[in-house]
Every structure is written in structure tokens, then in C-alpha cells.
Structure 1
């Protein structure tokens, strides 16, 4: 299949590029995409929270008062959960939230999302994306010419100018093809991809 290549000026098309139908024209698999996104987000969770149960609380080894004659309920330690400063019942412990998802399934989910973005006309292809200065105004002007505002820019060369110019724009993100993930693709309204980055994405997806 073919995708249009636009001019950075936004005036007319610069040509067309042949892309793999396997990567950019497959049926959308919502269940697989959901599974992949869930696994990705679960893997980013820290899971480091921890509380002390009764065995981890320090102190309280001595019997607080005698067994009989006080009128109080018998107690052998102050570390129990009913005591102030005692341990927590079913205390939270550090855990790993990672959900396994094999490489083929993740690549298939990427193909599914990219194909859906093409159908929704949310992918913009340009020959290259170069900034002459680090001024945010120049980047904003180029994006305005292409009629994009909320965008992910995928390019093989993330130059210092692009990095500096984009960090003041809240809805503009930049990444390399090797760092492309599902969340980054789904979130913005448009995905701007350079020709070199497009080739690397196709190679990555086989």
C-alpha cells in the first residue's frame, strides 16, 4: 500500500511511499491491544509499598500485664493489630506487577494500532524533520503548517534543537523508532513520522 508524503510547508504532497500492508493495513484487534497496553502499564508500576505486620514491628516482646486479676482482656504482646503502634493486618508487601506478553503479540498489537491510525488519517509522513534553531516558535510554525497540534514526532535523529524546542510545547512529544510504544502512539491526535523512521519501524515489525 502507499502513503502520502507531505511537504513541511503543508502545501501539497511531496510524493508517495510504499509501505508493508502487513504493518499498516491489518485488522484492528481490540482485545490484543488492550492486553498489550495493560501489560505495558503494569510493568511501569513500582510496587514498592510496604507495611509492617505483627512480626516486623519492633518491641512488644514482653507480656504487657499479668494474665489474671486486672479485669482487662488477656494479652501476650503489644505488637498485635488491635494495639496502637502494632502491626497491620494483611500488611502490604513489595510485589512485582509485571504481566508477561511475548514479543510476537506486542508486535502484532503495534501493527494493529498503526493500521488503525492510518485508517483514521492520524499518521503524517514527511521526508525529514529538521529545525534550524532551538526556538519553540519555529517548531510551532512547522507543526501549524502541517495542521497538527497534539502530536508525537518519530524521527531517527532527535537533535538538540528538536529536544529544546519541543519541551515547551505540552502536547508535543519526540521519540526514536526503537523507543516507540503503544501508549505513545495511542495518546496524541497525530503521529508525525519521517521516511527514515518509517523504514526502521517496518524493519522492527518484520
Structure 2
């Protein structure tokens, strides 16, 4: 199959990467796993062994009412928590085949919905936001835009950082969450070929 390139000849791409059917179940599982991997389990409470204080017996064994030892026990104010919550990992296992399958499914669906635009280059040699905005205007890229480049130059990152909802990503750092949430994905022909090598 062929994809159109803005201002250049169409390029031939693999049907196995840009022509697969959309697998919602697989994409959902991979997106959820990817987002969960970024979660930090920060909830933490202290057990009676972790609370600061002495473990000395608080009073005499006899003659003082209820018998008790250390005041770090859970029944006392300031004592430890009985079943204390601890930080945990939210990571879910996703093997390489599943991840690649989800990426292929997302790219194929983006292609079917005409949400992928190809360019020879972004033409941003200097870190000028104005030049990038003009380029995006030519491509009719509106909303949440993901710019994909192979070894993206620093000038492109600097030019895009002040433009709302425009995200520059290198091919090596391409992730399913960015692609799913994008209204438009603009990538260079070089990055397209690199993605094709990776997923074919």
C-alpha cells in the first residue's frame, strides 16, 4: 500500500504495519499497562515495629487495671497500624509481541482515519516557534499533535515546547498512549521507515 507524502512522491509501506485490523481489546490492555507502569505506589503506613518510641513495659503487670506492654501497640493513639499499607507496584506484564501488535493496530487505525501525515522534514532548522506553527498550519494539523522524528533535532523540541498540545517524540520513545490520544500524527519519511523496520 502507498501513503501520500506532503510535497513529494508517495511511499510504499507494509500492509502488515499500516493495514491491520483494529484490535480494541489488545490496545486497551497495552495502554492500561503502559499507564500503570508510570504510577508510583506511595501509600505507606507504619507498623508497631516502625513507630518511634520505646518498647518498655508501660506500667506494672498487676494493680493497674488492664495489663499491657509497649505503647506502640495499635490500640493506643500514636501506635502502629495493624495491617499497615505499603508502597506497591502497579506494573502489569506485557510481552514484546503484545506491545508490537498493539502499536501496529494503532498505526493502522490512524492511517484508516487519515490522522497520519508524512513529510520529508519538518523544516525547522532554528528553534523558532513561529516557523513550526506555520508548518503545522500548512499540514492542517490541529488539536493534539504528535511529531515523530528519527533522532529529532534539539531545535524541533525547543520550537515545540511553547505550542499547546504539540508533543515531539523520537521513534525510540514512541508509545501507545501518545498515539491513541493524538488528533494528528505527523512523521518524517525517515521515521516511517524506521518504524516499519521495528514492527514488520
For structure 1, the residue ranges without an aligned partner over 5 or more in a row are 8-13
1:5 pairs with 2:23: no
Contact 2:151–2:171 under 8 Å retained in 1: no
Q: Structure 1-normalised TM-score?
A: 0.89
TM-superposed CA distance for 1:109, in Å, is 0.4
**SS of 2:11 mapped into structure 1:** strand
**Residue 146 of structure 2: which of 142, 148, 152 is its match?**
152
TM-superposed CA distance for 1:49, in Å, is 4.0
Contact 1:136–1:165 under 8 Å retained in 2: yes
**SS of 1:158 mapped into structure 2:** coil
1:32 pairs with 2:26: yes
Distance across 2 between alignment mates of 1:60 and 1:34: 51
Contact 1:122–1:191 under 8 Å retained in 2: yes
RMSD of Structure 2 on Structure 1 (CA): 1.6
Distance across 1 between alignment mates of 2:83 and 2:139: 55
* 1:156-171 map, 5 Å: 156-171=150-165
* 1:1-206 map, 5 Å: 1-7=1-7, 14-71=8-65, 73-149=66-142, 150-206=144-200
For structure 2, the residue ranges without an aligned partner over 5 or more in a row are none
Distance across 1 between alignment mates of 2:13 and 2:61: 81
Contact 2:122–2:135 under 8 Å retained in 1: no
Contact 1:24–1:111 under 8 Å retained in 2: yes
Distance across 2 between alignment mates of 1:89 and 1:152: 48
Contact 1:171–1:188 under 8 Å retained in 2: no
Q: Structure 2-normalised TM-score?
A: 0.92
